[in-house]
């Protein structure tokens, strides 16, 4: 199963953005963003917010991963 915090950090880097920038967009303290990076799971509402901010649909990626598991492909 995907480690969502690592994936958020990865996409953030691909977009050329920093944890400080993400914190300002959510908004929250920078330390909270680093906490998000360490999490294996995340609240759906927060994930939707981060998806909108980054312009990347994490829910589709998670859904595809889940479907692969259900189909026995992973």
Instruction: State the CATH number of the domain containing residue 61.
Output: 1.10.260.40
Cα–Cα dist 4/56, whole Å? 13
- pLDDT (tens digit per residue) in 44-65: 999 999 999 999 999 999 999 9
Per the structure, the count of domains in the chain is: 1
A 10 A CB-CB count for 59 gives: 12
Kindly give the parts of the chain with pLDDT less than 70. 73-74
pTM above 0.85, yes or no: yes
Q: Which domain covers residue 62, as residue numbers?
A: 4-71
């Amino acid at each position: 199963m995907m480690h969502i915090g690592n994936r958020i950090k990865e996409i953030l880097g691909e977009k050329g953005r920093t944890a400080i920038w993400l914190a300002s967009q959510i908004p929250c303290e920078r330390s909270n963003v680093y906490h998000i990076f360490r999490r294996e799971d995340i609240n759906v509402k927060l994930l939707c917010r981060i998806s909108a901010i980054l312009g990347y649909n994490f829910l589709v990626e998670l859904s595809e991963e889940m479907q692969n598991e259900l189909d026995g492909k992973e």
